[in-house]
C-alpha cells in the first residue's frame, strides 16, 4: 500500500511539474517571472525519508510552497515496577509507531544567484499505526514467600491521526544545470502520544537532494530581474519599535512575547532595549540588530543581552538569532528568526516572528 501511494505521488508531482513547465515554455512569460520548481528526496526533516515538490509563486526567489509524502517511524519502551501489600508486578511495554505523512509548507527564499537562505512554516499530517507489545508479571506474596505468580503477554494495534507543526531555517544551493541541495534545521511540536512525534518539542535537521527544472532566471542577479519594492531613496533613519512572539524549548516548551524600542541608524543597523514576558521569567535586555544587505528582503542577525528579574539564581539572559527581514514600507517590516537561547540556567532554541513599526 505504501509503495502504491508513493508511486502515485511521484507520478502526480512529475505530471504537474512537466505540464507547468510546458505551459511556461509555450507562453511569452519572461524567464525571470517563470516559477522555479523542484523535486527532491529529503532525509530526516519532518519525516525519516520522503519526496517533496517545491515551487515559487513567481521567479526563482521570494514566496513559495512545498508539499510531499514521507515515511516516519518511532520506537518507545516503557518499564514500570510497582509494589502493593501482598503483590508486585513488573510491566514492560514496547510501542512502535509508523506511517505516511504529508508535509505542507509556505516558505520564502532570499539570496542572489545560486546561493539562497530559506525560512518557512508548515505542518505534517498523517495516519500512523501503533503496534504495542506488553509483558506483565503478577506475583502474590505471604510474608517473604511468593505463593503464586502469573505471566501474560499482550499485543494490540491502534491507528491514530498525528500532526507536527514547525518552523525552519536553512541554506539552499542550485546549479545552472538543475542540481539542488537543501540543508538546515527545524523546530516543532508534535501532536499525539501514539504517533512518531510523541507530543513533544524537538529540533530536527534536514537534508534534501533534488532537481530544479530549467529556468533562465537561475543564476541571474536579483537586480536584473526585479526592482526593489522599497526604493533606496526612502530613508528609514529614526525611532523604531518591534513587537515579537516567540516559542521554543529549553528542556520543556515555553512561549513569550516581547517589545523592543530604539533607534535605527540606517537600513542595516538598529540598537535598542526591551522587555519580554515569558513562561520562564521576565527578562529586560539590550538589543542589537544588523541586516546583512540594504535590500528590502535581507538576512538579519539579532542579539540580546539582559537580566531576568524573575530568576535571581542565574539572571543572565542571552539570545543569538539569524533569520530574514522583509520591509514592506518605510515604517513596516516583518521578520522571522531562529534563536539560540540561554535563560534560567538552561539552553535551548526558539522561533521568533516579529513586526517592526
- Residue 18, domain member (yes or no): no
Please tell me whether residues 45 and 185 are part of one structural domain.
yes
Please tell me whether residues 206 and 105 are part of one structural domain.
yes
| The last residue of a domain, from among 180, 204, 225 | 225
| The last residue of a domain, from among 225, 250, 277 | 225
**What contacts 121, CB < 8 A, 6 or more positions away?**
105, 106, 107, 165, 166, 167, 168, 336
Please tell me whether residues 105 and 175 are part of one structural domain.
yes
Please tell me whether residues 67 and 182 are part of one structural domain.
yes
| CATH, residue 52 | 2.40.160.20
- Residue 8, domain member (yes or no): no
User: What is the chain's pLDDT, residue by residue, as a tens digit (357 residues)?
Assistant: 445 444 544 444 454 444 444 444 444 445 556 778 899 999 888 888 899 999 988 888 888 999 999 998 876 666 555 544 445 455 667 778 888 889 999 999 887 678 888 999 998 988 888 888 877 777 776 766 766 767 777 788 888 888 888 989 899 988 878 889 999 988 888 876 667 776 677 888 899 999 987 554 455 544 444 444 444 434 578 899 999 988 887 777 778 889 999 999 988 899 999 999 888 778 899 999 999 888 888 889 999 999 888 676 778 889 999 888 888 887 788 898 888 888 877 888 888 888 998
Please tell me whether residues 167 and 245 are part of one structural domain.
no
Please tell me whether residues 103 and 197 are part of one structural domain.
yes
DSSP letter (8 states) at residue 152: E
pTM: 0.53
Q: Which domain holds residue 102?
A: 32-73+97-125+161-225
DSSP letter (8 states) at residue 20: H
CB atoms within 10 A of CB 120: 21
The SS3 assignment for 61 reads: coil
Q: What is the dihedral of CA 71, 169, 280, 190, to 10 degrees?
A: -10
Please tell me whether residues 248 and 217 are part of one structural domain.
no
CB atoms within 10 A of CB 167: 23
Please tell me whether residues 183 and 220 are part of one structural domain.
yes
Please tell me whether residues 174 and 315 are part of one structural domain.
no
Please tell me whether residues 184 and 112 are part of one structural domain.
yes
What is the total count of domains within the chain? 2
Please tell me whether residues 66 and 189 are part of one structural domain.
yes
Amino acid at each position: 500500500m505504501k509503495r502504491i501511494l508513493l508511486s502515485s505521488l511521484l507520478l502526480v508531482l512529475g505530471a504537474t511539474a512537466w505540464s507547468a513547465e510546458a505551459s511556461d515554455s509555450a507562453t511569452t512569460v519572461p524567464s525571470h517571472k517563470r516559477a522555479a520548481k523542484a523535486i527532491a528526496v529529503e532525509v530526516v526533516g519532518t519525516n525519516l525519508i520522503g519526496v517533496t515538490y517545491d515551487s515559487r509563486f513567481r521567479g526563482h526567489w521570494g514566496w513559495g510552497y512545498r508539499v510531499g509524502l514521507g515515511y516516519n517511524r518511532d520506537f518507545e519502551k516503557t518499564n514500570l515496577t510497582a509494589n502493593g501489600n501482598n503483590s508486585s508486578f513488573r510491566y514492560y511495554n514496547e510501542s512502535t509507531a509508523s506511517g505516511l505523512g504529508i508535509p505542507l509548507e509556505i516558505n520564502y527564499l532570499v539570496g542572489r544567484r545560486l546561493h539562497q537562505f530559506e525560512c518557512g512554516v508548515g505542518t505534517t499530517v498523517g495516519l500512523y499505526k501503533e503496534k504495542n507489545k506488553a509483558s506483565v508479571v503478577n506475583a502474590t506474596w505471604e510474608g517473604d514467600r511468593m505463593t503464586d505468580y502469573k505471566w501474560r503477554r499482550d499485543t494490540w494495534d491502534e491507528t491514530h491521526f498525528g500532526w507536527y507543526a514547525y518552523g525552519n531555517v536553512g541554506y539552499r544551493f542550485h546549479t545552472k544545470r538543475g542540481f539542488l541541495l537543501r540543508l538546515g534545521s527545524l523546530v516543532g511540536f508534535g501532536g499525539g502520544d501514539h504517533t512518531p512525534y510523541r507530543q513533544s518539542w524537538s529540533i530536527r535537521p534536514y537534508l534534501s537532494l533534488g532537481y530544479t527544472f530549467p529556468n533562465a532566471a537561475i543564476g541571474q542577479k536579483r537586480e536584473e530581474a526585479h526592482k526593489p519594492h522599497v526604493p533606496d531613496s526612502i530613508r528609514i533613519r529614526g525611532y523604531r519599535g518591534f513587537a515579537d512572539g516567540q516559542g521554543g524549548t529549553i528542556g520543556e516548551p515555553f512561549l513569550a512575547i516581547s517589545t523592543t524600542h530604539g533607534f535605527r541608524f540606517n537600513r542595516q543597523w538598529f540598537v535598542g532595549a526591551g522587555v519580554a514576558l515569558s513562561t520562564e521569567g521576565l527578562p529586560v535586555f539590550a538589543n542589537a540588530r544588523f541586516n546583512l544587505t540594504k535590500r528590502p528582503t535581507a538576512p538579519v542577525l539579532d542579539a540580546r543581552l539582559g537580566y531576568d528579574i524573575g530568576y535571581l539564581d542565574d539572571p543572565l539572559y542571552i539570545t543569538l538569532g539569524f533569520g530574514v527581514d522583509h520591509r514592506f514600507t518605510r515604517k513596516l517590516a516583518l521578520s522571522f528568526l531562529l534563536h539560540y537561547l540561554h535563560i534560567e540556567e538552561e539552553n535551548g532554541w526558539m522561533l521568533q516572528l516579529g513586526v517592526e513599526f
